[in-house]
Structure 1
Amino acid sequence: MRDATVTPSSASEARSRNIMLTALIIVSAFNYVDRTILSILQIPIKVELGLSDGQLGALTGLAFALFYATLSLPIARLADRYSRRWIIVISLVVWSAMTALCGLATGFMSLLFFRIGVAIGEAGSVPASVSLIADRYPAEKRATAMSTWGLALPIGLMIGYMSIGWLSETLGWRLAFAAVGLVGVILGPIIFWMIREPQRLRRQTAPDASAPPQLPLAQAVGALWANKAFRYTVAGGMLHGFTQYSMMTWNAPFFTRSHGLTLGEVSLLMALLSGAAGAVGIYGGGWLSDRLAARDGRGRLWLKAGSVAAVVPFAAVQYLVPSMIVSIVAATFCAALMIAYYGPILASTQSVVDPSTRAFSNAVLLLTFNLFGLGMGPWVTGLISDALTPAFGDQALRYALSIVLLPSGLGALTFLYAARFFDRKPVAAAPKGVDHA
C-alpha cells in the first residue's frame, strides 16, 4: 500500500516544515504543562481543599480522561476534513483559559468543573498534530519526526515542574494556575502564524486509484477493528499507559511522603527526571526504532516491548528501596524507559492505517490509552493508597505504586504479539513522490 504525495524539496518547504514542527512542539509542551500542573500542586491543594488521594486521582485521571478521550474522536473527525491549524489554536486557547480559571476553585466540584474544561480544550490538539506530521514526513522518517515532536513531553514536564514549584512557593497555587494559563492564551496567535496546512495524503492501491477524503464513521471504525496490527498495538499502549500515568501522577507525592522532600526539592527532581532522562528516552526510542525498522518492519514493536518490560524492575526498585539515592537512580532509568515507546507507537499505528483516517485513528489510540491509562491508572492508584493507609500510613503510596506495575508487563507481551501482524519487510526510504505507509 502506498501514499501518493509530493515530497518537499525546496529550502522554503523544508523551512516551513521545521517551523510547523517547532510550533507543534510548543503547543504540545503547554499541553503537558497545563496537564501536569495539578500533579505538582496536589500537595498544597490537598491541604487547603481537604481532598483525599482518591479525589486527587479522579481529578488528574478519570474525570479528565473521560472528556479528553471521548471528545478527541469527534474533533479528530473534524481534523480529517477541516483546517487542523484552526483546531490546534482554538484548543490551545480554550485549555489555557480553563487552566487559569482553576485558580478560582473553592472545592472538589469547582476544581473538577475547570479541569473538565481543560480536558475539552486539550482533546483537539494531539490528533490534529499527529495528522499534520504524518502528512509532512515520509514513512521511513516518521518515528523520528514523531519522537522529535514527542520531546514536548519532557520539555513540558520540565518547564512545568520547575516553574510551577517556584510560582507556587512565590505566589501561591492559585496565581500559579492563572500565570500558566495566561501564557497559553497569548501564544495562540503566534502558533497560528507558524503552521501551514499541507495537502492531505491519499492512499492508493493502484497507480490510478484514489481514496475519498474521509471514510464514513462506521467504515472507519470497522476498518480499525479489523486491523490486527493496529488493534494489538493500541492494546499494548493502553496497558502500559495505566502504569505510566500512575507513575507520572504520583511520583512527586511519593518522594514527598516516603523520602521527605519539600515542594521545591521535588519540583526540581521531577524536572530533571522528566526533562533530561525523559528527553533521552523519547528521542532515543524514536531514533533507534527507525533504525530497527530499516532492518525489519517489526523493529518498532520490539523496541516498545523491550523498553516497557524494563520499566517494571526499575520501578519496583524505585518504590520499594529505603535509600533515597537508589530510588532516584532507579527513577532516572524509569523516566527514560517508560516513554521510549512514544514515537514508535505513533509511527507504527500511522503506518498501518489509511491516510484518510490518520487523525481519527490517532484519536482512537488516545481514547483507549487515556480512558484506561490516564483515566483509571491515577484514580485506581489513589484508591489503593487510601485503602492501604490505615495499615501503612504515609508509606501506603509506595505499595500502591508497586502494585500497578503489573499492566506494563502485560503491555510488553502485547507489543510482542502485535509484531506478528506487521510486515517483516524493512521500512526503506521511499522513491521521490511516493510515501510508503
Structure 2
Amino acid sequence: MEGAVSLKSETASSVASTNRTRRLVLLMLGLVSMFNYIDRTVLSILQEPIKRELKLSDTQLGLLTGLAFALFYATLSLPIARLADRLNRRNIVSASLAVWSGMTALSGLATGFATLVAFRVGVALGEAGSVPASHSIIADYYPPDKRVTALGLWGLALPAGIMLGYASGGWIAATLGWRAAFAVIGGAGLLLAPVVMLLVREPVRGAFSTHQHVAEPISLGTALATLWKLRTYRYMLAGTTLHAFAQYAMMSWTAPFYMRVHHMPLSEVAAWLALMNGIGGGAGIYLGGWLSDTVARTSPSGRVWVSAVAMFLMVPAALVQFLVPSLGVSLGFGFLSSMLMFFYYGPIVGVPQSLVAPHMRALTSAVTLLVFNLFGLGLGPAVTGIISDRLAAGYGMHDTSLRYALAAVLIFSLVGALSILRASWFYRFDMREA
C-alpha cells in the first residue's frame, strides 16, 4: 500500500515537473518568436526617417521590407528545417536568434540601400531557422489534445512582437534616432540567445506518437509528395498565402500611410499601431483559435472555414480604414481589420501539424513559410510600393498614393478566402487518413 502511494506521489510529481518544463519551454520559445517579429517590425516603423536620410523610393522600401528579406528567409527555411528534423532543435533556435539579432544591430550602420539590403539578408538568414524548429519542439512537448492550444499561445508572440516593435522602435527613434533603435533592439536579442541554451531542453522526437517508425528518415521528394496529396493543406496554404500578400502590405505600409495621409507624427503612429496590432492582432489570434475549436465540435471543417469568414469580413473593414477621411474612424476600423487579419494564424499552424507525422513537422512548417513568405511577404510590400510610386508619378498623388495602393491589394484576401473555403471541404477526409 505504501509503495502504491509512493509511486502515485512520484508520478504526480513527475507530471507537475513535466508541466513546469513545458510552460518554461513555451515561454522561452515565445520570447524568441517575439524578438523575431520585433526585428521585422522595427524596419516598418522606421521607414520614413530612413527614406529621408538615405533618399530611398517607395519601391526600394518595399523591397527592403519584402522581397530582399523574404527571398532568403523563405528559401533557407527549408534546408534548415531538414536539419531540425535530424539535429538538436534547441541549438538551432538559439543560434538563429544570435545571428538575426546581430544583423539587426548592424543595420544601424547602413549607409545606403545596398548596405541596408545586406544587413536585412543577414536578418533573414537567422530567422529562417527559428520557426520550423520551434513548431517541432512544441509538438514534442505537448500531446495532441493540448498541442493546438500550446501553438496558439506561442502564436501570441506575433502580436506582442509587432506591438513592441512599433512601440520601442518608434520611441527610440524619436528620442535617439533610427540607427540607435536598430542597435538597442538587436542587442537585446543577443542577450537572450545564451539564456535559451541554458533553459530549453531538447525533447524526445515523436514523444507522443504511437508508431515507432516515425523516426525513420524520409526523402525530401517523398515528404513534398505527401504534403501535396493533403488537399486540406494545399488549399489552406494557397489561401493564407494570398491573404498574406495583403496582410504584409498592410503591416509594412500602414505606418507611412498614417504619417503621409493623416500627417501623424512618428511617436503617435508608433503608439497607435502598437495597440492596433498588439491588442487587435492578439485578440484575433486568440478568437480565431477559440472559434475554430468551438465550431469544430459540431462541424469539424469549421476549424478551417472560420479563417475564410474572417478574411471576407476584413476586406470591407480595411477599405474603410484606408479610404475614409476621418482619422478617428480610420483608426477604429484599423483595429477591427487587424483583429480579423490574424484569425487564420492558429489553424494554419495547428491543422498541418495534426495531419503529418512527427518526422515531417519541421519540414511542413518550413514549406508553409517558404510559400507563405516568398509570395506574401516577398511581393506584398514590394508591389504596394511600386503601385504607390506609379500613382505618385503618373497621377500626382504624392501624399495619397498609398491610400489607393493599399486598397488595391485587398483583392488578394478575397481570393484567399475562397481557397480556404475549398480546403474545408477536404478536412474531414484528410483527418481520417492521418
The sequence identity of aligned pairs, in percent, is 54
Does residue 237 of structure 1 match 2:240?
A: yes
Corresponding position: 1:199 with 2:204 = yes
Check the 8 A contact 1:295/1:426 in 2, yes or no. no
Aligned to 1:430: none
What is the deviation of 1:281?
Answer: 0.9
Could you say which residue in structure 2 is the equivalent of 1:330?
Answer: 333
The one-letter amino acid of 1:49's match is L
Structure 1 residues 426 and 294: alpha-carbon distance in aligned structure 2, compared to 1, 3 A threshold: farther
Q: Which of 339, 358, 362 is the aligned partner of 2:361? A: 358
Once the two structures are TM-superposed, the CA of residue 142 in structure 1 deviates from its matched residue by 2.7
| 1:143-292 pair list within 5 angstroms | 143-201=148-206, 210-292=213-295
Selected match of 2:115 from 110, 113, 116? 110
Query: Secondary structure of the equivalent of 1:351?
Result: helix
Q: Following TM superposition, by how much is the alpha carbon of 1:349 offset from its aligned partner in structure 2, in angstroms?
A: 1.3
SS at match of 1:394: coil
Supply the AA of the counterpart residue of 1:324: L
| 1:71 matches 2:81 | no
Residue 397 of structure 1, aligned match among 395, 402, 418: 402
8 Å Cα contact 1:81/1:213 also seen in 2: no
What SS does the aligned partner of 2:398 have?
helix
Structure 2 residues without counterparts, runs of 5 or longer? 1-12
Q: Is the deviation greater in 51-60 or in 213-222?
A: 213-222
Distance verdict in 2 for CA 1:137–1:292, change over 3 Å? farther
> Match of 1:409?
414
* TM-score of the aligned structures, taking structure 2 as reference length: 0.94
Amino acid aligned to 2:182: F
Q: Does structure 1 residue 132 correspond to structure 2 residue 132?
A: no
Q: Give a deviation string over 1:118-151, Cα, whole Å, max 9, x none.
A: 0000000000111112222233333322121111
Aligned counterparts of 1:214 and 1:19: Cα–Cα separation in 2: 30
Superposed CA offset, 1:353-385 (max 9, x none): 222110001100000000010000000000000
Q: 1:178/1:208 Cα in 2 relative to 1: closer, same or farther (>3 Å)? A: closer
Instruction: Select between 103-112 and 184-193 the one with higher mean Cα deviation.
Output: 184-193
| Shift of residue 291, structure 1, vs aligned partner | 2.0
| 1:22 maps to which of 20, 23, 27 | 27
- Cα shift at 1:214: 2.8
Deviation of residue 236 (structure 1)?
A: 0.9
- How much does 1:292 deviate? 2.1
Query: Does 1:370 pair with 2:373?
Result: yes
Between the aligned partners of 1:139 and 1:296, the Cα distance in structure 2 is 19
Q: Which moved more, 1:45-54 or 1:268-277?
A: 268-277
1:202–1:417 distance in 2 versus 1, CA, 3 Å = farther
Q: CA deviation at 1:318?
A: 0.5
Indicate conservation of the 8 Å contact 1:98/1:115, yes or no.
Answer: yes
* TM-score, with structure 1 as normaliser: 0.93
Alignment RMSD (CA, Å): 2.0
Aligned length: 422
CA contact (8 A) 1:143 1:289 kept: no
> Secondary structure, in 3 states, of the residue corresponding to 1:393?
coil
Paired with 2:406 and 2:41, the residues of 1 have a C-alpha distance of 18
User: d(CA) in 1 for partners of 2:103 and 2:216?
Assistant: 34
Q: Relative to structure 2, which stretch is displaced further, 277-286 or 403-412?
A: 277-286
Q: Which has the higher contact order (CA 8 A, sep 6+)?
A: 1
